[in-house]
Amino acid sequence: MNRLLYNLFLHTVAAPFLVAYYVPRIVLGNKYRQSISGKLGRLPREFTPEQLSRPRIWFHAVSVGEVVALNPLVEAMKAVCPGVSIIVSTGTETGQDKARAAIRSADGFLYLPIDFPACVNPVVDRIRPDLFVLMETELWPNLIHRLKTCGAIVALANGRISDRSFPRYRLLRGFFSSVLQEVDRFLMASALDAERVAAMGAPRERILITGNTKFDALPAAISAETEQEARAALDLGDAGRVWVAGSTHPGEHEIVLDAYRTLADKYPDLILVLVPRHVEKTAAIVSSMSERGMEPPFLRSSSERGEKRNGRRVVVVDRTGELFRIYALATVVFVGGSLVPKGGQNILEPAAWGKMVLFGPSMEDFRDARDMLVRAGAGIEVRTKEDLTLRVEEALANPQRAEELGRKGRDEIFKHVGSARRNAQLLAQYLQGRQA
């Protein structure tokens, strides 16, 4: 009955909204043009699932963050089960680009179809996976039901229930508990996540705590070559003091610029590298700088045309997928989505480079990482522009202390490496049990 009401809602309420949302963006801009066909249930031309050997494992990662966590799990899965075929789906175009570039062991890629039976069912019927693995928490009732109808094992890996989403899930427990009954295994990132998914209606005997595979993705990505590539891309030369403000949102761009103006008077060699969460906000950032009487920034895209920084002290990165390596250049880091109520962004990436990390109070989506770095002394919460300015200045005035705290954070992160292997071994056991 719950799924019947859900489908009634999809066709009467959600469908008109989706049409109104997607069509203008596809017709008037470039957004979703690459993914809309896949979202409607068409597989890429180069992907022929019928030719893949068995067993087949289908992993789904929503966007870039989940893809980063998925990559070490896929590699571990191939090591544990060398003969498996790996299929990866994503929900976003940036996630798809990242997956195709990073997950080299995959045998096929696709966009996850929207959760209408007419879109989902043909895709599931063609792929017919033996095991389907959702990264973190995406619960699509029609998709999960069709997978179970086709005989697949359905598992949740790296399971996380954020502070923001948990109240909604709990409010709708009557609906989600029936969906969770169709999930065979819940491999959760932490004890709190395990308690939350149980409170949502997941059977406790199916829940295990296996850690966060994002930790496994970090050590292999760190290298001197990566750092040098980032320095060359931003034309930073041998610049010493670099403040990287990563994944910033509107409302934070302005705070960072104002804090930088204050600090630049005392530290004239300080370079600000501002990396907005959404590159389409670049024009607004340039406009904000103009309003403050600041010289135009050096844009990352300019270096691709052979232009040089020529002494400009603010760099705006108007390209996606480069933030991780840019963190390597930082003397001090601020991670956005946290001074505005967005739930935070990934603070593990700069910490893995051994950087002390500043962030605002809104870190609901990264509470485990926040708590870990705060305990190590490598993560510091700031609440205002003045607070941010003070903490950045402390790091600039005492770089040895900042480096010491950053090392403590990095050491703490590396203690948690190994989750990908544990998850892969458990998934392999479930798969072998199905085939027995």
pLDDT, tens only, 232-279: 999 998 878 999 999 999 999 999 999 999 999 999 999 999 999 999
CA distances 326 to 41, 65, 322, 356, 402, Å, are 37, 16, 6, 14, 18
Residue 332 has phi, psi (to 5 degrees) of: -150, 150
More confidently predicted of 14 and 374? 374
pLDDT tens across 361-406, in order? 999 888 889 999 999 999 999 999 999 999 999 999 999 999 999 9
Rounded CA separation 253/361 (Å) = 16
The pair of three-digit structure tokens given for residue 63, joined into one six-digit string = 């966007």
Task: Give ∠ CA 140-144-148 in degrees, rounded to 5.
Answer: 175
In this predicted structure, the answer to whether residue 436 has a pLDDT above a threshold of 60 is no
Bridge partners (DSSP) listed for residue 276: 248
In this predicted structure, the answer to whether residue 433 has a pLDDT above a threshold of 90 is no
pTM for this predicted structure: 0.82
Rounded CA separation 95/77 (Å) = 20
Rounded CA separation 130/431 (Å) = 7
Angle between helices 214-221 and 399-414 (to 10 degrees): 120
Cβ atoms of 236 and 329 within 8 Å: the answer is yes
In this predicted structure, the answer to whether residue 91 has a pLDDT above a threshold of 70 is yes
Bridge partners (DSSP) listed for residue 159: 188
Q: What is the largest CA-CA distance in the chain?
A: 70
Residue-averaged pLDDT of the chain: 92
Q: How far apart are the first and last CA of the chain?
A: 34
Query: Using 50, 70 and 90 to split pLDDT, how confident is the model at 434?
Result: low
Own/partner contacts of 3-6, CB < 8 Å, gap of 24 or more, are 3/141, 3/142, 3/145, 3/178, 6/141, 6/142, 6/175
pLDDT tens across 330-352, in order? 999 999 999 999 999 999 999 99
Share of the chain above pLDDT 90, in %: 68
Task: Give ∠ CA 219-221-224 in degrees, rounded to 5.
Answer: 100
Q: Which stretches within 150-252 are classed as H helix? A: 166-171, 173-180, 191-199, 214-221, 224-233
